[in-house]
A and B are shown apart, each in its own frame.
Chain A
C-alpha cells in the first residue's frame, strides 16, 4: 500500500460514513452497487463499525453468490448466527431465488403432472406471473424473522445493481398485484369453492382459503415494510462504486431509481482507489490513477450533497476479522495516504 496525494477534502460534507453511525434511528441499511466493486467488504466493514456503537447488528446477504462466508471465513446459513469474535454482530445468508414452494407447500407430488392442466396449474401460473414474487416470499420470511429477533440495525448486502432494484421495487409492485388477487378471491372465492367442494381443496391438495390467507398476510407485511423503507429516518442506501465509467453510470442510474422509489441515499463509497508512490515506476498504476482522478472529480462535482468516502485498494485481500476491522476503520477516519 502506497500513495502520493489525496484529493483534498474541501467538501461541505464529511467524507466518511460517520453520519450513518450517528443516526441512531436507522434500522435498515442497504449496501449496493455493480458487481465486483466491493459491496460485501463495505457492508462487512460498516457492520463492524456499527456493532461498536449499537446494541445488536444483523448483516444479511441477499446476493445469490454468497460472499459473507468467504469474508469472515465462517459458514453462515438461513438462520442468523453470531460472527466469531463479536458478541453483538450476527450474519445470515438468504437466497433471493428461494422459491414459492413454501406457498405451494403440501402439494401432492404424485399427481401434479396429471393435474397440471387444471386448477393447480392455473394458480401456479398466477402466482408466478407476479414479478419478483419469489424474492418477495423469501424477503417477507426474513423480515418476519428479523422482526421477532429485535435487532437494532439490519444491514443488507444486496445483489448487483439490477437485482437490488428489483428487490427494492417489489413492495410497491407486489402490493398492487396482491390487492388485485385478494379482491378477485373475495369476489370469486364462493364461486370457486362451489366448484372445489365443501372444504375448498384445490386439485393439488392445497386449500384455496388457506392460500389466500397467506397471500393476505404477505401483503400486510409488505405494505409495512414499504412504509418503513420510504422513511429516511429508518432506511438509507449506501452506494458502492469504483472510479470507472460503467460503475459510475450504474450508480447514477441507481440513485435516480432509488429517488423514484422514495428511498433515501446520501452516501457513496468509492472503492479500490490507487495511490501509487511518488515517482513510482509502475506505468499501469499511474495511468489508472489518472483515470480514477478524472472520475473522482466528476463524482465530487455531481454528488455534492453526498458523503463521498474514498477507500484505497489494498495489496492484500480483505478477508478475516482483523483485516476487515482495519479496513472498516477507514470508513470512519478518512484514509490519508502516507507521503
Chain B
C-alpha cells in the first residue's frame, strides 16, 4: 500500500504546513493569485482601485480649492466627489448586500450574473465568499482527510512487521485499533508521520534560528565594538 502510505504522510505534512504558515495568509495568497486570473472579480477589483485613486485625487483638489473664492469650481468638484463616493460605497458595502443573497443562491450561474451587474457585485462580499470556499476546501483536504482516512482504512495493514521481532504487546499497540495483529495500522502510521514531521520541522527551525542568530550577532558585534569607543569619547569630553 505504498500510495496510501504516501497520502497519509502528505496529509500530515499539509496540516503541519497550514498550522505553521497560518490559514489567513494562505487565503490571502490564494486571493492574490485569484485576482491575477482574468475573471470578472479581478476586473471589478481593478476598477475599484482606479475609482479609489480618482476619488483621492478629487478629494485632494477639493481640499486645495477655497469654497469661498472659487465657489463654482469647488461645487463642481464636490459633485464629482459625492458621485465617486456613492459609487465606491455601492461597490464595497451596502449596495452589494442585497445582491449577495442572490449571488449565493445562483452559484451555478455565477458568471452570467456577474456579467449582468458588474458594479453591484460587492468586492467584500466576493472576498468573504472566496475565503469561506477556500476554508472549506482546505479543511476537507487536511483535517477532514485526517479523520476520514483512519476510519475508512482502519482494517487495512499499512505494512507487515517481520515475524517474531517484537513482543505481543508491541504488536498489539502498533496494530491498534483494528488492523490485523503483526501489522502497522493506519493510526500508528499517522502518528509516526506526525512525529517525524515535527522532528524535522523542529530541526529546521533550530538550524535556521542558529544561522540567523549567528548572523545577527555578527552584525551586532561591530556596533558593540564601536559603542565603548564612543563612551570613551564622551567620557573624555566630560573630563575636559
Contact = CB atoms under 8 A, between A and B. Distances in A.
A51 B67 CA distance: 40
Interface in A290-339: 295, 297-299, 301-302
Nearest to A249: B67
Nearest to A303: B72
B109 interface: no
A298 B66 CA distance: 13
Q: Which secondary structure dominates chain B's binding surface?
A: helix
A299 B70 CA distance: 10
Contact of B82 (A245, A256, A302): A256
A298 B70 contact: yes
A48 interface: no
Contacts of A31: none
Interface in A121-161: none
Nearest to A259: B79
Interface in B64-81: 67-68, 70-72, 75-76, 78-79
A245 B71 contact: yes
Interface residues of A, number: 11
Contacts of B76: 302
A248 interface: yes
Contacts of A299: 72
Contacts of B68: 245
B97 to A, nearest CB: 17
A14 interface: no
Main secondary structure, interface of A, reads helix
A245 B67 CA distance: 8
A216 interface: no
A302 B67 contact: no
Interface string A252-266: 100010000000000
Interface residues of B, number: 10
Interface string A231-263: 000000000000001001100100010000000
Contacts, number: 21
B100 to A, nearest CB: 21
B87 to A, nearest CB: 14
A304 to B, nearest CB: 10
Nearest to B82: A256
Contacts of B75: 252, 302
A252 B73 CA distance: 12
Contacts of A249: 67, 71
Nearest to B78: A252
A256 B67 contact: no
B79 A298 contact: no
Contacts of B70: 298
Interface string A275-302: 0000000000000000000010111011
A249 B82 CA distance: 15
Contacts of B79: 256
Interface string B35-56: 0000000000000000000000
B71 A248 contact: yes
A295 B79 CA distance: 18
A299 B75 CA distance: 10
A257 to B, nearest CB: 11
B122 to A, nearest CB: 21
A298 B72 CA distance: 5
Nearest to B70: A298
B186 to A, nearest CB: 57
9 contacts: A245-B67, A249-B67, A252-B75, A252-B78, A256-B82, A298-B72, A301-B72, A302-B72, A302-B76
Interface of B: 67-68, 70-72, 75-76, 78-79, 82
Given A248-B71, A298-B71, 16 more contacts: A245-B67, A245-B68, A249-B67, A249-B71, A252-B75, A252-B78, A256-B79, A256-B82, A295-B71, A297-B72, A298-B70, A298-B72, A299-B72, A302-B71, A302-B75, A302-B76
